[in-house]
Structure 1
Amino acid sequence: MASNGSRGCRCCLCKLIFIVLVIIALAAFLFWLVFRPTMVDFHVTDANLTQFDYANNTLRYNLALNMTIHNPNKKIGIQYDNIEARAFFLHQRFHTQTFSSFYQGYKNTSVLNPLFKGQQFVLLGTQEKVLSEFNKEKDSGIYNIDVKLYLRLRLKFQAIKVGNLIPGFTFGKNIIKPKFECDLKIPLRNNNNGLGFETTYCHLRF
């Protein structure tokens, strides 16, 4: 008798767990139907590179960017807790800039203006190989500079902040940590070579 009772309790527990999971799945699906959350878009619309010199393992640079962040969601605002922009040359980071917290409303576009300026000791590899690659880009007048964006953000709708952007989200203080990569080809303005910067889309990376 006790054995049958235990099996009955386990069966009821399994049914209860199944029902709860179905309810959670339906709630997540309804949330997606109503709000249809979509990831933000990043573009670099302009780049002004006035100095980019490398000698004795020291990189001297002056790069100003104009970036746009577009929130395509109609019913979801975005709270950016932190945005960190890192600049790389030949896979080596040479500068980092952090932006303070801000809120972005529905169907809204915000502008960021990262400025990477200074000098940094960087070991890019063997001196001969590095100088060869650097001189190649110097002769072309266009430098391949990668900017990676590390975000900490939350969704906000009807006074509720949501942790994740896709079904399976959690409520509370959890945050989304997407990363975007902008592969930029930037002409040196001092060259007077007539080359201009083309707007570049930044790709989402996981």
Structure 2
Amino acid sequence: MDNNKQPQLNGAYYGPSIPPAEHPHQHSHRRRGCCCCLFNILWITLVTIIILVALAILIFYLIVQPRPFKFTVTEAKLTEFNYTNNTLHYNLVLNFTARNPNKKLQILYDKAEGQAFYEGTRFNTTDEMTWLNSFRQYTKTTNRTSGVFSGKQVMVLDQDQLSHLQENKRSGIFDIDVKIYFTIRFSLNNFIPGDMKAKAKCELKVPLSSSNGTTVAAFKLTKCDVSY
């Protein structure tokens, strides 16, 4: 018999080794890694969308070449401008032209509100245009419109403003600012996006007409500053 006997094993079971327990900070590292990956994906997606939108706007601008409309005061008739007892009595009629310089864009004028100012103080607000007389302006065309500012307004002028008023009376020419606030829409091949706001600011020097209709000087055509 073979005397080389194998050592006897005890009754315990020796299975595969048990891996060491993971520390909690290892799970937190994995979670942070996943969050960073998700953030990077979202950031790249956002940047891509911004670039695509910017390219689309640039291409649209290069193709359409949108330009603001031109607004001009062609005539002004001031038959009354009298300040007594802190009250301004006035009667002003203005004729305007609006020109669309665009080659591909039409302009829809939906609404226009006119405001008249003297010495920085508003003395009249009137609806120059409503849906009743709104109109579509075709490309490369000019349309005429008018505005009437008439009535009286309580105004308190300081000493400097009164001095300027006296200078205007002596010269017969009054410095009046008019602002027109528009609600318009652009149309491209019958595609009409949402409306937008525009403002025309007109700095006028208006001669006062006498009772027989004569003035000290003729009114000079005045171009207005248009902004969106």
8 Å contact from structure 2 (residues 88, 152) kept in 1: yes
Query: Identity over aligned residues, as a percent?
Result: 35
1:24 equivalenced with 2:53 (yes/no): yes
Query: Aligned to 1:160, what secondary structure does the other structure show?
Result: coil
1:100 is matched by which residue type in structure 2? T
1:10 is matched by which residue type in structure 2? F
Distance 2:34 2:76 in 1: 72
Question: Measured at CA, do residues 6 and 43 of structure 1 come closer, stay the same or move farther in structure 2, by a change above 3 Å?
Answer: same
Cross-structure match for 1:157: 188
Distance 1:31 1:64 in 2: 40
In the TM superposition, what is the alpha-carbon distance from 1:193 to its structure 2 partner? 4.7
The 5 Å alignment of 1:70-109 reads 70-98=99-127, 99-101=129-131, 102=134, 103-109=136-142
Q: Normalised by the size of structure 2, how large is the TM-score? A: 0.77
Question: Measured at CA, do residues 21 and 131 of structure 1 come closer, stay the same or move farther in structure 2, by a change above 3 Å?
Answer: closer
The 5 Å alignment of 1:1-206 reads 4-98=33-127, 99-101=129-131, 102=134, 103-126=136-159, 129-162=160-193, 173=194, 175-190=195-210, 192-205=214-227
- Give the gaps of 5 or more residues in structure 2: 1-29
The CA RMSD measured in Å over matched residues stands at 2.0
Q: Kindly provide the CA deviation profile for residues 166-199 of structure 1, in whole angstroms up to 9, marking residues without a partner as x.
A: xxxxxxx3x3222221110011121845410000
Q: Kindly provide the CA deviation profile for residues 136-177 of structure 1, in whole angstroms up to 9, marking residues without a partner as x.
A: 111101000110111222211123223xxxxxxxxxx3x322
Query: What is the total number of aligned residue pairs between the two structures?
Result: 193
Dislocated runs of 4+, deviation >6 Å: none
Which structure would you say has the larger Rg? 2
Question: By percentage of residues, which structure has more strand?
Answer: 1
Query: Aligned to 2:179, what secondary structure does the other structure show?
Result: strand
Q: Normalised by the size of structure 1, how large is the TM-score? A: 0.84
8 Å contact from structure 2 (residues 69, 226) kept in 1: no
8 Å contact from structure 2 (residues 82, 90) kept in 1: yes
